[in-house]
Structure 1
Amino acid sequence: AVFDEVRRVLRDDGTLWLNLGDSYAANRGYQVVDNKHKDVGNNGSMNVPPGLKPKDLVGIPWRVAFALQASGWWLRSDIIWAKPNPMPESVTDRPTKAHEYLFLLAKAERYYYDAEAIREPMAESSIQRINQENFWNQTGGEKDYRNGTNANRSMRNTLENFATSGISGRNKRSVWTISTRPYPEAHFATFPPALVEPCVMAGTSAHGVCPACGAPWVRVVERTDQPLVSAKGSRFDRGKTGNRDGGDRTQTGERYLSTTTGWQPSCDCHAPALDNGVAVPFADDPDSGYWAPTPIPATVLDPFAGSGTTLAVAVEHKRSAVGIELNPAYVDLIHKRLGRVQPRLINL
């Protein structure tokens, strides 16, 4: 029911980022209240659900993800939160749990996602490999044209992407290594701000949204004159998959860094100026011929606000934040935490 309401208030181009921990099935004569640090007895009981056995990993994150998918959400990515400093466990018959899942879900097939905002620096080994003189010198890993399945096609696509998009870094990977952080207040199930930042930055526009319809402003990305890597005459028409995948095409020339040159609305709420009855194309320029309403901050909703980590990150990145929390004690923590937040001067 909660996520039905989330879906109702979410824009069609909005996304849902969901972090869930897991647990093991067990028969207990008590439960642990969520604001207690120790395994102390309480009234109530917990029994192994039908279909599971004692000591079974319940698989809560995936069960919820599949249920949301079945209800109409698009399940777009499963992200691993890898913890270098996990909580110690006394178990001796399984590995210590050192990860959690973060799911990216969308309300519609097409949605807002700012990949540029969370690009990662390319590994030095990748830069050196792509900088080799030509395609036939590419070595190592599944992209080696001599080994692996369809490796020729994989390397061809990599080189073409660099040539056409001029990206300044690699796309965000699906394993995020982020240390947990201590929280001194009376809430022990907090996640670190670094886990939330990519979600806020990719899921909402740093430039804001249209005040009329709420559509996000999008980046205007252009190629610069600064070379990224260089390739000379790399050919894709040889190798075991060359005839099928490569054809007779040659990849030549420099690759260049890209940069954000401005922002523009993704809606039609702006008013065009006409030049002899023809609308002048829009650019992020007051003299372009188009007028667009001044954008307002994008909104981040956290229906399980807890200690307010998501809200604090949203405010820090100059987004509007809406939180829902049933525990009055946690609401006090949220107010205290938000009172210490300073919005960043620049959002990239």
Structure 2
Amino acid sequence: MDVRPDTPEGLKPKDLIGIPWRLAFALQADGWYLRSDIVWNKPNAMPESVKDRPARSHEFLFMLTKSEKYYYDWQAVREPADGGGLRNRRSVWHVNTKPFAGAHFATFPPDLIRPCIQASTEPGDYVLDPFFGSGTVGLVCQDENRQYVGIELNPEYVALAADRLQGQDSNVIRIAAA
């Protein structure tokens, strides 16, 4: 039995909903500056069993700021240039997925998180992760000498993150369900 949810208003069945872009545009309408769209190319993406469109092997990241002027350390995230040396990071990032035993399917690899933290914060700064999950942002913050606050609703993920961050100064906040 194939049970599909109702098609959102304004879309046709099988339309791409484009949730990441809808969120980016909603934040932009709310006053945020949408500075960059970054394509996360997943060279080892899990195959999809689709036959009527290309299989997805990418996701989007968005660089948003609250003001025109903001901290961005482009030198911290330079990448190798074809002719040697380093260049400003490009907007397509080739990062393999990296499963973590015991974690949910949406775990982000540290190599995807690291340049976001390096470019947007200085050592000692705080990073807020309101969807802390298995704690990858916390691990990267520790590696990069940043402070972090993680917020997670699911008590199983809070326990998982605490185990991963064991022996570290953990700042995970669990919000009890109402």
Give TM-score scaled by structure 2 length: 0.89
**2:11 equivalent among 52, 56, 70:** 52
Partner residue in 2 for 1:238:
none
**1:101 equivalent among 56, 60, 73:** 60
**2:93 equivalent among 147, 151, 176:** 176
Alignment of 1:182-221 (within 5 A): 182-206=99-123
For the residues of structure 2 that align with 1:27 and 1:48, how far apart are their CA atoms?
12
Alignment of 1:223-234 (within 5 A): none
For the residues of structure 2 that align with 1:341 and 1:120, how far apart are their CA atoms?
30
Percent identical residues: 58
One-letter amino acid of the structure 2 residue matched with residue 62 of structure 1: W
The 1:58–1:340 alpha-carbon spacing in structure 2 relative to 1, beyond 3 Å, is farther
Partner residue in 2 for 1:318:
145
Q: 1:120: how far off?
A: 1.1
Runs of 4 or more above 4 Å deviation: none
Alignment of 1:247-262 (within 5 A): none
Q: 1:340: how far off?
A: 6.5
For the residues of structure 2 that align with 1:94 and 1:47, how far apart are their CA atoms?
21
Partner residue in 1 for 2:176:
none
Given that 1:118 and 1:198 are in contact with CA atoms closer than 8 Å, whether structure 2 keeps it comes out as yes
Given that 1:82 and 1:177 are in contact with CA atoms closer than 8 Å, whether structure 2 keeps it comes out as yes
Q: 1:61: how far off?
A: 0.6
**1:327 equivalent among 131, 149, 154:** 154
Q: Name the SS for the 2:28 alignment partner.
A: helix
Q: 1:318: how far off?
A: 1.0
The 1:328–1:171 alpha-carbon spacing in structure 2 relative to 1, beyond 3 Å, is same
CA offsets, 1:130-153, max 9 Å, x none?
A: xxxxxxxxxxxxxxxxxxxxxxxx
Unaligned runs of 5+ in 2: 170-178
Q: Name the SS for the 1:117 alignment partner.
A: helix
For the residues of structure 2 that align with 1:186 and 1:172, how far apart are their CA atoms?
30
Alignment partner of 1:116 is 2:75: yes
The 1:120–1:341 alpha-carbon spacing in structure 2 relative to 1, beyond 3 Å, is farther
Q: 1:341: how far off?
A: 6.4
One-letter amino acid of the structure 1 residue matched with residue 128 of structure 2: L
Given that 1:82 and 1:100 are in contact with CA atoms closer than 8 Å, whether structure 2 keeps it comes out as yes
Q: Name the SS for the 1:116 alignment partner.
A: helix
The 1:120–1:304 alpha-carbon spacing in structure 2 relative to 1, beyond 3 Å, is same
The 1:119–1:83 alpha-carbon spacing in structure 2 relative to 1, beyond 3 Å, is same
Number of aligned residue pairs: 168
Partner residue in 2 for 1:75:
34
CA offsets, 1:103-135, max 9 Å, x none?
A: 0000100000011101112212xx5xxxxxxxx
One-letter amino acid of the structure 2 residue matched with residue 328 of structure 1: P
One-letter amino acid of the structure 2 residue matched with residue 174 of structure 1: S
CA offsets, 1:237-271, max 9 Å, x none?
A: xxxxxxxxxxxxxxxxxxxxxxxxxxxxxxxxxxx
Unaligned runs of 5+ in 1: 1-25, 29-45, 128-167, 207-296, 343-348
Q: Name the SS for the 1:324 alignment partner.
A: strand
Q: 1:302: how far off?
A: 0.2
Given that 1:316 and 1:341 are in contact with CA atoms closer than 8 Å, whether structure 2 keeps it comes out as no
Give TM-score scaled by structure 1 length: 0.47
